[in-house]
A and B are shown apart, each in its own frame.
Chain A
Amino acid sequence: MSDIVLKTEGLTKHYGGVHALEGADFEIRKGEHVAIMGDNGAGKSTFVRQITGVEQRTSGKVIFDGQEVNFDGPLDAREAGIEAVFQTLALADALNVPDNLFLGREKTKFNFGPFSILDFKAMREDTLKSLERTGVKIPNVDNPISNMSGGQRQCVAIARTATFHSRLTIMDEPTAALGVQETAQVENIIRTMKEAGEPLILISHNMRQVFDLVDRIVVFRRGRIVANLRKEDTDGQDVVAYITGAKTGAEYEGAA
């Protein structure tokens, strides 16, 4: 078997007449961190929404772990092992950290369907463990999320992926709204994941961050992939040229 975690072939999404994503061929290997870059509306988020099952693709194939998959929804994808941290934080403000980490997959003591009794102690312990593993510092996990800073919330959202040993993590601009210190914290978590060999797709506009953290950069432009660059073979100026359309990768000629 190959060590390819996720592969897409000709992934396409049309919103009516808008061709948001057109024939995307993409792959990510075990332990690899890949950045997706591109201008606003280039198709980055659309791409993520197709592979996480948030939306249904128009055509194309998604192959996860060597098998073609058709996720009915984000839960399906999550159960398969794809964990996404979205731009809009998927956290419930009124709940505390363990409640949020385990939202939708609570640990229970007794099982009575919806009336299952929750095992708060086990969930709290697991939360503390996974926060420690990811290096996230949250002073009081029993505080509702609404009392926390943007950085802390983002860390909770990311720690969620670490709790469940997902086989592929996707982060959509995880530091877009964060301050300097908070961004550093999130980047540290990403480095920890790299050391642990957990694959990651990172969507980011931050060139410094991308070059700091990932192995490979895939550039989207107007719904198509226009470049697939190893970090060592490129630099910031080069990537900008691809993003703006000044350059197009040799293998993608005629694509855009």
Chain B
Amino acid sequence: MSSPSHGIGGLKYDPKKRHRPAEVNVLIALVAIVALFEVLGRLFVGDSFLFNTRDRVDTLFNEQRLKIIILQVSIIGIIALGVTQVIISGGIDLSSGSIVGGVAMITTAFAQSALNEYGMENVKPILGAEWLDLPIVVPLAIGLTVGLIAGIVNGSLISKFKIPPFIVTLGMMLFMRGVATFVTKGRPISFLQEEYTAIGNGMNPVFIFLGVAVVMHLLLKYTRYGKHTYAIGSNEAAARMSGINVDRLKILIYAIAGLLSALAAIVMSSKALTGQAGMGIMYELDAIAMAVIGGTSLAGGRGSILGTCIGALIFGVIISGFTFMRLDAFYQEMAKGIIIVAAVILDQWRAQKQAAKA
């Protein structure tokens, strides 16, 4: 009993055998998938997936491909960062994709300019001529506020009226998709200001994604907010008993998720140079999938921002890899489906193995 290597009940504990963090497994999966595409590429396409085989440029890696891998997942990645903390708290957010659509339409309606870059005149402004060329902060503030409010409504309904998150966010999903179509009766919005389109230009979405990821990582790892988020996802009754204001925390969690969906909407419409009512359809599921592939448990209490970032990269690699293999897009969807289910099976198997050891 007195030996430090023994717990009570004679349980042995070996400090050298530490549990491998879940992120390491996800990273191994990412490396394995990249390696698989590299091998398959050399065998069937006669090209390298990862390395540069062009003589024109002098780089080791195929930088273009690496850039595209991360660029194409960075917008959904921003949503996934918000969804990750929602899932860790034991909830779910199905409304994120529709918030993207709604916010994209509302924001771009306020971000129109009188002339486009070719000097063409904007003859049919959405909100009338006096609403053109507003200071850039106006559309941004309006867009982010709409996302924030949608999130606060989600969180309030969930915590105050005790409605399951699935139902609340399903309702918000339908409502916001309606809002997206309502703004222009479904017409796309173009003639966006140059300051606005500069936001999502080039690799900016990647920098925004990484910046948000760092902030969210610090928030979840080092603050009271993060600790309590894990606590309510792990045992809500215990968290309540410990004096955590669970209702207020949930509202905050969904508010941040809504805010990040709005940010994704701004980046996306800016990058696409247009606002469209169909923007963000199915993004909520891709975002959830990224989080789950990254090791976030749908049962709550487990997961990390780092894991979700790697999960997003796995997504990007699969999309790029299938394009590189010259396979049709529907194979991508099939592969994504298989990987999501496989990730959850592996995770549960690992959890069971750990439980058996304890």
Contact = CB atoms under 8 A, between A and B. Distances in A.
| A pairs with B | yes
Nearest to B233: A94
Given A94-B233, A140-B15, A104 B242 contact: yes
A249 interface: no
Nearest to B232: A92
Interface string B199-241: 0000000000000000000010011110110110111011101
Contacts of B219: 115
Contacts of A117: 222-223
Contact of A118 (B9, B227, B249, B302): B227
A70 B315 CA distance: 55
B8 A86 contact: no
Interface residue tally of chain A, by bracket? Answer: 35 or more
B234 A149 contact: no
B259 to A, nearest CB: 14
A58 interface: no
Given A95-B234, A137-B1, A75 B243 contact: yes
Contact of B244 (A104, A115, A138): A104
Q: Is the interface of B mostly helix, strand, loop or mixed?
A: helix
Interface in B225-272: 225, 227-228, 230-231, 233-235, 237-239, 241-244, 249, 252
Contacts of B237: 88, 90
A149 B8 contact: yes
A89 B234 CA distance: 12
B234 A93 contact: yes
Interface in A94-113: 94-95, 99, 103-106, 108, 112
A181 B302 contact: no
B6 interface: yes
B124 interface: no
Interface in A200-221: none
Contacts of A90: 235, 237-238, 241-242
A22 B250 CA distance: 38
Nearest to B225: A114
22 contacts: A74-B243, A90-B235, A95-B234, A103-B231, A103-B238, A108-B224, A112-B223, A114-B249, A115-B219, A116-B224, A117-B223, A139-B4, A139-B11, A140-B15, A147-B19, A147-B354, A148-B7, A148-B358, A152-B7, A152-B8, A152-B9, A182-B9
Closest CB pairs A-B (n = 9): A75-B243, A104-B242, A94-B301, A139-B13, A94-B234, A104-B243, A92-B234, A90-B238, A103-B242
